[in-house]
Amino acid sequence: MYAVEKLCFAPPLTFSREQLRELTTGESSFTSIAEDGGKLAGFAIAALMKERALRYGYLQTIDVAPEHRGRRIGSKLLRHVEENIAAAGGRVMLLHVAVQNREAIGLYEKHGYTRVGVEDGFYRRDNGDAFIYEKRLPSIP
């Protein structure tokens, strides 16, 4: 996973190996993996968050190796984590995305995410700003 992460994000935005391990092993973590020919093509990591009576999903990261882009892998990964969050009782998905990451913004908007805000300096390591997006998830009985 770390090798794909390094291909997708430049320092200082790259998660470390330890950070990826922590994100994927948390008890409320959902990780979706895409493979092509037995090799990792991409992954998505989300967490089910609980605040009082509200349960919502937070997309930590979605990475697709450059040579696998354009094959709807990102869409499949995103749908898979949304389905898992909804099945666990999540009603909304939230995420942050760098304001200059047009490709990711397009993916999220295509999947029904709505921009609800901006967080100045979210990416503290490079003082980068992030848009905040959300999407209501269907209730799963």
User: pLDDT (tens digit, 9 = 90+) per residue, 15-59?
Assistant: 999 999 999 998 899 999 999 989 999 999 999 999 888 899 999
The structure tokens listed for 133 are: 């997006």
Domains and CATH numbers, the chain: 2-136 (3.40.630.30)
β partners of residue 107: none
Tell me if 43 sits within 8 A of 29, measured CB to CB: no
pLDDT in tens, 72-81: 999 999 999 9
pLDDT in tens, 80-117: 999 999 999 999 999 999 999 999 999 999 999 999 99
Nearest to 78 by CA among 122, 55, 51, 110: 110
